[in-house]
Amino acid sequence: MEGVPSGAVDAAGETHVRVGRWHERTQIHRAARVQDARQQLGLSQAEWAQVLGVSVKTVQAWEQGVNNVPEEIEEHARLVRERAVTDPTRPDAPRT
């Protein structure tokens, strides 16, 4: 986003903050996707931390935007969610 000053708000209402070579917006979306996966599975932060192999404080820091979610964690969260959603033994699984 050349020419967009740090802290600027674009037409979509997103705030842009430059952090080195990483764009903060990417990290915000990654954190939201990981949090959404947790919520869709109906897991607490403690349960989610155990599934992902991290501490509860790490999950909290991601969801609050304090720490960046590593790309591999986002991918792991996506796979866990997909497997859970397609698991026919889940009581809330879609009927085919």
| Mean pLDDT, range 59-71, rounded to an integer | 88
Residue 87 has pLDDT above 60, yes or no: yes
Q: How confident is the model at residue 1 (pLDDT cuts 50, 70, 90)?
A: very low
Helices marked H in the chain — which ranges? Answer: 24-41, 45-52, 56-63, 71-86
Domains of the chain with CATH codes: 28-85 (1.10.260.40)
pLDDT of residue 55: 95
Q: Is the pTM of this model over 0.75?
A: no
| Mean pLDDT, range 65-74, rounded to an integer | 87
